[in-house]
Chains A and B, each alone.
Chain A
Amino acid sequence: MKFGVVQFPGSNCDLDTFHVLRNVMKRETFLLWHKNHDLKGVDCVVLPGGFSYGDYLRSGAIARFSPLMHEVRAFAREGGHVLGICNGFQILLELGLLPGAMLRNKNLKFLCQHVYIRIENEKTDFTRAGKKRQILRIPIAHFDGNYYAPARVLKDIERHRQVVFRYCDAEGNITEEANVNGSLGNIAGIRNREGNVLGLMPHPERASEALLGSEDGRTVFESLISCIERRKPARRPGRRERAGHD
């Protein structure tokens, strides 16, 4: 299978993600420049972490208007797998591919630390290599990770088991102390209802090599690879629609 990592001006985890997918997971990986309209036939699009467009206006708010995002949206609507990490998650929210929005962290601090997250739904394309309620230790690095959704939307997300990861303590308890950024329901990662789009604030690419202190992040990539390679989907024809976005 082939991965594509989108590069925006201000992305700074693009090459880390590229490295992990190509050299650690050993899968063909392309860098996709945000100004192009070409997804290069990849099976999974990754929106990496960073500060696209300097986080001007709102995190992810400008990146969503990048030309390539038109293709990414169409790709997702056709069932293609899209993974948004940190700023990538914020972009997916702004793009409307995932429900909700991000607020500033509750303590108004940029948080850069390892956290524990618990797999809330192990039957997703992004977690099937993990175990039920498995605890992962993965770093976060963000200012706006305080997940918010209106009560009605939140209820919907829970009912459809769209919450994939929650912040927890080392024992897997979902506590207020473990909820470092103040997210509603300790939410660290959600998927769309169809199950092909995932956004998460923690950085699995920074926890994919023992040298870096944790390999727990590999669970996400291994899940995607096993899911997509087992399915062996027919190759999608390249699409080059150029209608205006939004």
Chain B
Amino acid sequence: MKVRILVSFKDSVLDPQGQTVKNALHTMGYDAVKDVRQGKVFELELEGATKKEAEALVPEIARRVLANPIIEKFDWQIIKGR
């Protein structure tokens, strides 16, 4: 099974990199862009894990390692297998 985890800053945390990208887009004339948030993507290949096991394992890994819960949130989904 393959899962994709998206880690991004919490809404309450300023994302200076996202702001810079937004400013660049505005400079290029993409005025429709109201906001940009930058994040990180992780793809994990899990061996022999059931969906139920993944539902326990992935959030645990995300909380303990991939994201810093003080500043970041995460979202995840199964992208291959089940």
A residues near B (Cβ < 8 Å) are: 57-58, 61, 65, 94, 100-101, 103-108, 146, 148-150, 182, 246
Contacts and interface: CB of A to CB of B under 8 A. Distances in A.
Given A57-B65, A103-B16, A148-B70, 19 more contacts: A57-B66, A58-B68, A61-B68, A94-B68, A100-B70, A101-B68, A101-B70, A103-B14, A103-B71, A104-B17, A105-B16, A106-B16, A107-B16, A146-B16, A148-B71, A149-B70, A150-B12, A150-B70, A246-B64
Contacts of A100: 70
Contacts of B70: 100-101, 148-150
Contacts of A106: 16
B71 A101 contact: yes
A107 B14 CA distance: 12
Interface in B60-74: 64-66, 68, 70-71
7 contacts: A57-B65, A103-B13, A108-B17, A146-B16, A148-B70, A149-B70, A150-B70
Contact of B16 (A61, A101, A108, A150): A108
Nearest to B12: A150
| Range class of the B interface residue count | 10 to 19
A106 B16 CA distance: 6
B50 interface: no
Contacts of B16: 103-108, 146, 182
Given A149-B70, A150-B12, A61 B17 contact: no
Contacts of B77: none
A7 to B, nearest CB: 22
B52 to A, nearest CB: 23
A146 B9 CA distance: 14
